[in-house]
Chains A and B, each alone.
Chain A
């Protein structure tokens, strides 16, 4: 229920304010997702999706933060 998974915004499908939606790809599977709560999300952005709604945009810089920390405490190695 509270599971939210990141997906990539591939194409905006509807621009009406409350029904703004996009095709979002989850590692190969695409679904139409409501974007009303992330009006700033654009094609190419990653969003966290929960019960058909994007609830936040994933911020790349913050996503990398933990790996920078890991570099500080030792050799990071290949993260792929």
Chain B
């Protein structure tokens, strides 16, 4: 496939690797914000192409991982109702709630459908007028326009039996939260390329300037990530803190305007609770009042109080770059993909799942 194969060529990767080694004179810590980047780094063993002085730490950019326990419990309560067809991206089914996961609800007879696009939920609502179709609308800015379109089309088509359980997160406030932490080790960021494909990167220069960190919008292929690291290191070595765009083939400065316009029509910005991290102001999206009829939380009048995660999962520390999966005492022991304690072991973008899947390689590199 064009633009996959070319960006995975070992020869190109080795050239960038040599250039990185040439320009690096000191230890640096860089955070890759997106879980998709984490996955590529571990899958392709990209740390082996970096000098030992350069450490990559993982960021909070896995939407499955940061969805709160409270929302998972709400999803489970809705999905268990007999009149409901509950639609979700597949990764969410095995995320542990307080007592069980969505897969257990499905095993118990709940009508839970895995969809790959929110438009499938719209189709299901049209095809099943006597059922309540609920779509689990999770994700960052990348996914939010697709989910917004589902609500918009539902209203346009006059569907009364579709609603969204919304759990959306915004990346720039999370970066600011990490930068402003007193114990932050992060000196530069690889910003999430597909979030920026939607939102652009005009929000980043104030952050780069305020916290004196370089931010490089970066893609997901091995060559993208190593070039992003190289651009970040070049700035760090020169004492610069600007915003650059490595992923220019897919990202423009202003982002995707039609998608942003749809987001503004459907969602308001609101405070959001990040699993393992806590509440961050203006870091989430909620349906605007004119879309209240499509809000599953309102439609089903749920009475579920926030729970404390007592699983022992250290997801918050992992997603803020403070610890790595191998630092967790439960990693590979009590916590495995088939029996996860927390979401980072479930999702295809979760740092723990990536480390577990490619554990031999990680063990060889890091121990």
Contacts and interface: CB of A to CB of B under 8 A. Distances in A.
Tell me if chain B binds chain A.
Answer: yes
Interface of A: 1-8, 18-19, 26-27, 34, 36-39, 46, 48, 50-53, 55-60, 62-63, 65-67, 69-70, 73-74, 76-77, 79-80
B143 A51 contact: yes
A50 B250 CA distance: 13
B36 A3 contact: yes
B118 A62 contact: no
Interface residues of B, number: 59
B132 interface: no
A46 B250 CA distance: 10
B149 A36 contact: yes
A70 B194 contact: no
A6 B35 contact: no
Interface in B124-174: 138-140, 142-143, 145-146, 149, 152-153, 156
Interface string B15-50: 110110000000000000011100000000000000
Given A52-B117, A62-B249, A2 B36 contact: yes
B139 A1 contact: yes
Contact of A52 (B119, B220, B259): B119
Interface of A is mostly: mixed
Contacts of A58: 3, 249-250
Interface stretch (B56-64, B273-281, B332-340): B56-64
Nearest to B33: A2
Given A3-B220, A6-B4, A58-B249, A51 B118 contact: yes
A55 B256 contact: yes
Interface in B69-120: 89, 91, 116-120
